[in-house]
């Protein structure tokens, strides 16, 4: 059991998707409870990568490869769980995108990787993503959170468009909406009716953790996490 869990964790540390998936299959075959494999194998490996990233000993490519390996293992392990346990094995589902008119993705990629490292199932739609694509994916995956990024002031209105669409379509109570990026701030988050704003990638992860424990959207006031607290 220990050997299989170590192999699972090491595959994630090395960013080896194929080996991580195989280790997860072997864990199930060995009779290791899937939740144990997630907690003592997959999560421990991802935590090592996250800690290295925080100490500047690993960088975005390593973080993203580890996240992909983590997702491959988690998919196998979740299939082995009863439906009621599978629903609670992950913190929640996040659809993340850089909105229309913006092709910047470094910050978004870091947030997506850190969310994966912290147990979220992340669906990264990429850059320059329009409203229809975002909503289609959020509905399809029954996401808990829609995360919207932009580094351009000219693209800020597209964040607001998502919130307006949810209100107009009667879906505002289906999804939390969080916003981030260079020109985004606490005032903007409140103005457009978002549920939260995080200044950094670490803030974004903490924000998502709080929202998944907050009950049903929307919030009366957004949760704001920045250098001021």
Of the candidates 162, 160, 105, 95, the residue with the CA atom closest to the CA atom of residue 128: 105
Using N-to-C axis directions, what is the helix angle for 201-212 and 106-117, rounded to 10°? 50
d(C-alpha 72, C-alpha 24), whole Å:
9
In order of 156, 206, 213, the CA distances from 161 in angstroms are 9, 25, 26
Q: In sequence order, what are the residues at sequence separation of 6 or more whose Cβ sits closer than 8 angstroms to the Cβ of residue 184?
A: 150, 156, 159, 197
Dihedral sign for Cα 129, 174, 161, 211, please.
Answer: negative
Annotated catalytic residues are: 102, 104, 155
């Amino acid at each position: 059991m220990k050997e299989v869990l170590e192999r699972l964790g090491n595959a994630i540390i090395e960013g080896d998707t194929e080996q991580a998936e195989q280790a997860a299959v072997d864990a199930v075959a060995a009779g290791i409870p899937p939740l144990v494999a997630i907690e003592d194998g997959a999560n421990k490996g991802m935590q090592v990568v996250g800690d290295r990233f925080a100490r500047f000993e690993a960088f975005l490519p390593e973080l993203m490869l580890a996240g992909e390996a983590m997702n491959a293992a988690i998919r196998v392990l979740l299939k082995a769980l009863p439906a009621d346990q599978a629903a609670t094995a992950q913190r929640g589902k996040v659809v993340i995108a850089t909105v229309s008119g913006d092709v910047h993705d470094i910050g978004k990629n870091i947030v997506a990787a850190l969310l994966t490292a912290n147990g979220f199932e992340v669906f990264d739609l990429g850059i320059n993503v329009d409203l229809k694509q975002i909503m289609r994916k959020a509905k399809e995956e029954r996401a808990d959170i829609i995360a919207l990024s932009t580094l351009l002031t000219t693209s800020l209105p597209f964040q607001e468009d998502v919130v307006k669409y949810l209100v107009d379509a009667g879906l505002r109570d289906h999804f939390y909406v969080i916003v981030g990026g260079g020109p985004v701030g606490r005032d903007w988050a409140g103005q457009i009716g978002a549920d939260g704003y995080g200044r950094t990638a670490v803030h974004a992860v903490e924000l998502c953790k709080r929202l998944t424990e907050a009950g049903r959207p929307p919030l009366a006031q957004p949760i704001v996490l920045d250098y001021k607290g």
